[in-house]
Structures are given as C-alpha cells and as structure tokens.
Chains A and B, each alone.
Chain A
Amino acid sequence: MLEAIVSLTGLGFVAAFGLGLASKKFHVEVDPRLEKIEEMLPGLNCGGCGYPGCSGFAEGLLAGEVEVTSCAPAGEEVVAQLADFLGLEVSGVVRKIAVLKCGGGVDKAVIEALYEGVEDCRAAVLLGGGGKSCRYSCVGYSTCEKVCPFEAITMGADGLPVVDPDLCTACNKCVVACPRDVLVLEPVDHQVIIRCSSPDPAGKIKKVCSVGCTGCGICEKVCPVDAALLDGSLASIDPERCVECGICAAKCPADTITDGLLPRKTVVISEACNGCTICARVCPFDAIAGEAKELHLVDPEKCVGCQLCIPRCSVQAIAQTGPPAPMEG
C-alpha cells in the first residue's frame, strides 16, 4: 500500500518537475492581447461567428479578419470594451434575435396527415413535409429548440417555437437548422412582424391556413412610412424603416401581422407645449391637433403609440401614458 502511494506520487512529481522545466525552456511567446481578448469574450464557444470557439475568434480579431460586432452573445458593453481595447470604432450595433415567420399553429393551419416519424423537423421535411398542408409553414417538431445552445426557444401550446428575447443571442444556429427557413434574425426592437413565409396566392393560402398572408396589400397602403412592401402575394416589413406604429397589424384582415407592443400606450402633451405644431405635422395618423402657439391635444382614438412625435418635440412636452414602453426613441 505504502509503496503504491510513494511510487505513484514520486512518478507524478518527477513528471511534473520535468514538464515544469520543459515549459520554461520551450516557452512560446504568444500575443499578450490574445489572452486579454479571450477573457473579455463571453466564452460560450457557440461558433456563431464562424470561428471554432472563442479563442479562434480572438485570433481572427487580432488578425483583423473579423469585426468586433460579429460576436453575437457579447452585449453592447463587451463589444465597446473590445473595440476600446483594440482601438477600433464601433458604429451602432443593433441587437438581433431570431423571429418566427410563421403563424400557423396547430389551431390555425390545416393538418392533412399524421406524422409519426423521428421528432425532428429536418426528418419530417424529408418525409413529405410533416403534417401541415402548407409547404412553407413551421413543421413544429422542435429542431430549433434542440439546437439552441442558450435554451432561448421553447415550443408553445400551438406547436410553434417561442423565442425568449432576453436569452436569444442571435447565434444563427436555429436559422441554419430550420429546414423551412421560417426563422430569421431581426432587430430586437422590431416588434411588428409578418408571421407568414408563403408566397402562394390567396386562393391556395386560404385553404391551408387561417392566418396566411393573402397578399391583399392593405398593409402596404396603410403604412405611413412605406416600410411594408408587397412582393407577389407575400408582404414584408423593412425593419430599418418601420416605426413600430402597428397600424398594419391592426388593419391586416387575416391577422397575419402580430404587434408585440400591444397594449399600446398613447401619448399626452403636457402644459409645457409651446404650440410649435411640429408634432402635428410629424404625426402620420393626424392624431395631434391644435392651433399654432397654443397647447396641442392628442386624440387617444387615433394615436397608435408610434412615438414619432416624442423626439421631435422641442420642449420635451410629449410623454407616454402609463409605465415606459419597451421601446426607445
């Protein structure tokens, strides 16, 4: 017993001593910045940047092959820190999350077959496309939930994935894994979303889904900022232009467009108003009225809470009713 302990410990010490000496003798100088960058990175090794792990990304950063902002899990703070460390400039980073472009849950889409194969969307799509009639729908076998390294996706009661905006890091894994391409990355602030990916014409869509985009073009007509566009018989919203007014969601006859900002908070104008009329001119919904140089009033019936007027007010007299909305500016 004693011999065993002594001999094994002894051998361990000899090996440790030898390796210690060797590491001094064969010490390789690495860029000291590399270690610092690795410390700053989230260390999740998600691979969303395209490099094998965070150390690979750190090397890529040092070599100047990649932008600081390519690291999705790193928040604004970390990105700013990295940029500062590397002496780079960062232009406004928009945090993105995965968004489901399909609203056809089991209660809304027509189900024509019973799929009993492997519980995986990719397998289901290979085998005739799962149970739903729509060829562009989310098949709902939770492949995205399984590939998500951050547990940001859960399957809802209607068989559609729900993305937790706080946990999603836009690592793109679910987008790549989804065989129907119904998951896309969109800015986290963008809340008015068209939940349909089917380019099929209205007649076909109506037969397979109650919330499919029929291409009626109403959203395009009502959009005050030309963000909603109709391409064939599928509408899309440009997140860059969209002001999140939600009027398209309210007007959509098929309820394809969802508005994540409901219930909306209307704005009120306080006594500080100097009657400059700018807000009345800015408002795309004619919800603000008033004479020049007099207190303006908001019509709560017309106001959709788009907040376009707030940053334009010269005396900060406009505020939202109730607690602050989840959106800024």
Chain B
Amino acid sequence: MKTMLLVIISTVFVNNFVLARFLGLCPFMGVSRKIETATGMGMAVVFVMTVASAVTWNIQNFILNPFGLQYLQTIMFILVIASLVQFVEMFIRKISPPLYQSLGIFLPLITTNCAVLGVALLTIQKDLNFFVTIVFAFGSSIGFTLALVLMAGIRERLEMADVPVPFRGTALAYIIAGLLSLAFMGFSGMVK
C-alpha cells in the first residue's frame, strides 16, 4: 500500500510528466485554454494511458519477451495506443459532442502524444510488476491532467488581465509553463 501511495505521489508531483519530464507538451500548450476542455482531454488521456500500459505490459511480458521480439516493441505499442485512441474518439463523439468539438484535432493526436508511449516504455524499462504499472500509468496521467488543468486555470484568469502587447498569447503561455515547471521542481528529490 505504501509503495502504491509513493508511486502516485512520485508520478503526480515529483516526476510530473509534463512539468518535470517534459513529455506531452503539445496538448499541454494546445488544449489548455479552458478548464473544461483541459479536464476532458485529461480524462481521455487518463483512460488511454492506463489501459494502454496495462495492455502493453501484457504484450511485453507474454508476447515480446518469450519470443524474443523486443524489436517489435514500438510498433506494437503504437498499434495498441492508436486503437485505444480511436475507441475513445468514438466514445466521446457519442457521449459528448461539445467535448468532441472542443478537443478537435488534439483527440486523435493523443496517438502521437509522447507521454502515452513514454509511460508504456518507462514501465517496461523500470521492470515494474503489473499492478505497479497500472498505478504508475494512472498516476502519470493524473499528473498530466493536473498540469493541464493548472495551466488552463491560470490562462483563463489571464484572459481578463491587462497583459503588455508583446507578451500576449503564446509568449505568455510559454512563460507560465516555465514558471509552473519551476514550481514543480520544488518537489524534486522528495520521492525517488
């Protein structure tokens, strides 16, 4: 139980995927304009990441390793992630058309979100067992969602602020991203 808790804290705060490992920056900048869409995107990533790493763990340990097919790792993992993303896309389109509209191109782009593949590869690299893998992936995706929602919250408030012209838009978004990342650096070293 203690390990699980530590894994969660580690992945959400200390080794936050976006702000400490710098993976998945594309949706981090692209879908962080509104809290609503950021949450929706986060939930989609939580689902894809958790299920994807559960499936990829099984593929690694029951197909790739026994048959010595480690070289197929990337293509297999991408295949799994791509199918899951397709599924999530259909699901969201059916359940919530407005969310589907606002996520737009970033929904299919989860396929190429390096954070998703990153989690799948990291769990293999760290040689985690099945349950820790799932917790690790879940924590990572929660960390991703947290970063996204924090960013969206700040950007929403800044919409109202009187920002000097040269800083408006993307420039300011990058500055905030940097500051957020700096803040998260404060956690570093707390959990290994």
Contact = CB atoms under 8 A, between A and B. Distances in A.
B52 to A, nearest CB: 12
Interface of B: 59, 63-64, 67, 69, 72, 75-76, 79-80, 82-83, 86-87, 90-91, 93-94, 97
B94 A12 contact: no
Given A15-B79, A18-B83, A18-B87, A7 B69 contact: yes
A187 to B, nearest CB: 38
B67 A11 contact: no
Given A11-B59, A18-B87, A3 B67 contact: yes
B76 A11 contact: yes
B94 A28 contact: yes
Chain A interface size, as a band, is 10 to 19
A91 interface: no
Interface string A1-29: 00110011001100100110011001110
Given A22-B87, A23-B90, A26-B91, A4 B69 contact: yes
| 3 tightest Cβ-Cβ pairs between the two chains A and B | A15-B83, A3-B67, A26-B94
Contacts of A8: 72, 75-76, 79
A3 B93 CA distance: 37
Nearest to B83: A15
Interface string A222-244: 00000000000000000000000
Contacts of A27: 94
Nearest to A10: B63
A11 B63 CA distance: 10
Contacts of A7: 63-64, 67, 69, 72, 76
Nearest to A30: B93
A8 B79 CA distance: 9
A294 to B, nearest CB: 74
21 contacts: A3-B67, A4-B69, A7-B67, A7-B72, A7-B76, A8-B72, A8-B75, A8-B76, A11-B76, A11-B80, A12-B79, A15-B79, A15-B80, A15-B83, A18-B83, A19-B86, A22-B87, A22-B91, A23-B90, A26-B91, A27-B94
Contact of B90 (A3, A4, A15, A22): A22
A7 B64 CA distance: 9
Contacts of B97: 28
Nearest to B94: A26
Given A7-B72, A11-B76, A11-B79, A19 B87 contact: yes
A4 B59 CA distance: 12
A15 B79 CA distance: 8
Given A15-B80, A22-B86, 11 more contacts: A4-B69, A7-B72, A8-B75, A11-B80, A15-B83, A19-B90, A22-B90, A22-B91, A26-B94, A27-B94, A28-B97
Contacts of A11: 59, 76, 79-80
A276 to B, nearest CB: 65
Contacts of A12: 79
B186 to A, nearest CB: 41
Contacts of A26: 90-91, 93-94
